[in-house]
Amino acid sequence: MDIMKKVVSTRQLPYSNQPFQLETLEFGRAPTHSEILNTAKEAWALVTTLEDKINQELLKELPNLKAIAQFAVGTNNIDLDYCRAHNIIVTNTPDVLTEATAELTFALMLNCARQIHRAAPDVSTGKWIGWEPMGHLGIALKNKKLGIVGAGRIGQRIAEMARGAFDMQILYHNRKAHLDFEKKNQATLLSLHELLKESDVIVLMTPLTPETRSLINQKELLLMKKDAILINTSRGEIMNQEDLIDVLKKDHLFAVGLDVTTPEPLPQNSPLNSIERVLITPHIGSATREARAQMAQLCFDNLERIAKDLKPLTPVS
């Protein structure tokens, strides 16, 4: 049964069947305020992404808006206070992207440890002229200490992979203890600074909040071991990027893997792009066919329940 309510999606998404009057903005980028408004003036709901600025100025001009389905877990781009005050229901897509993001995090970890992104081009460019005993040396992950900053769903899944595949020792920092997680993974809760000092590999998986913005600055970076590996697949704003550049120029840290930066996309002339020990991917944490399809389906499942006056599956506000 069709639900004849207008829904505007700011991006082309892998949805299949959905019961709404759907209009999709197809700019291939985040639409501007006016571009959203031109199509969504009468919309009942929006399907949005992290790059869309759903601020008070825009929301005030959408008088019929009753719901926002965020195609992501984070909702920092949405004025949640305004939505709460005006009874606009906001949902997100947790759980369905856990596996994909954990896999990407581990891929960055392995790549940085074995320096694959530096070794592979030597073949295509002809720089590699033969096997060399001391050439392209990386770092083994087995039995190393993995420090996870933010032991939510994704952080816990990364720990399971690390324990199962590489017998890594799990350290974690979180605002509260997870006793079941500790028991299952023999994980140890530490303060942030203790974790940074002890870990061989550090993964940033904490959500972006006022408390975690610029959580990692020069002081924290220099607490890390000189040959530590640092991975960020959470949000770029968690780390002071200029401090990271300064520390790397001082030959501190073995390698850094970033799926998120500030800003996104990163300017081509950013010093990070010229530091060989840094591997940057274009925010592809959840970019598997399976995860993106599940995310889209969850967005529309939530909207369908809201349209039927039922509680959405994953409400934010």
Q: Tell me whether residue 61 is one of the annotated catalytic residues.
A: no
235 counts as catalytic: yes
**Two tokens, residue 161:** 């992979």
Of residues 117, 178, 283, 292, which has the active-site annotation?
Answer: 283
Q: Which of 48, 52, 150 is CA-nearest to residue 92?
A: 48
Tracing tokens 């870990």 back to the chain, one arrives at: 199
84 tagged catalytic: no
Q: Of the residues 35, 264, 277, 305, which is catalytic? A: 264
- The angle, 0 to 180 degrees and rounded to 10, between the axes of the packed helices 98-114 and 153-166 is 50
- Give the three-class secondary structure for 243: helix
**DSSP assignments along 7-41, one per residue:** EEESS--------SEEEE--SSSPPPHHHHHHHHT
Residue identified by tokens 């890390």 is 224
Which helix (H) or strand (E) segment is 147 a member of? Answer: strand 145-149
Of 117, 173, 178, 235, which is the active-site residue? 235
Q: Which residues are catalytic?
A: 235, 264, 283
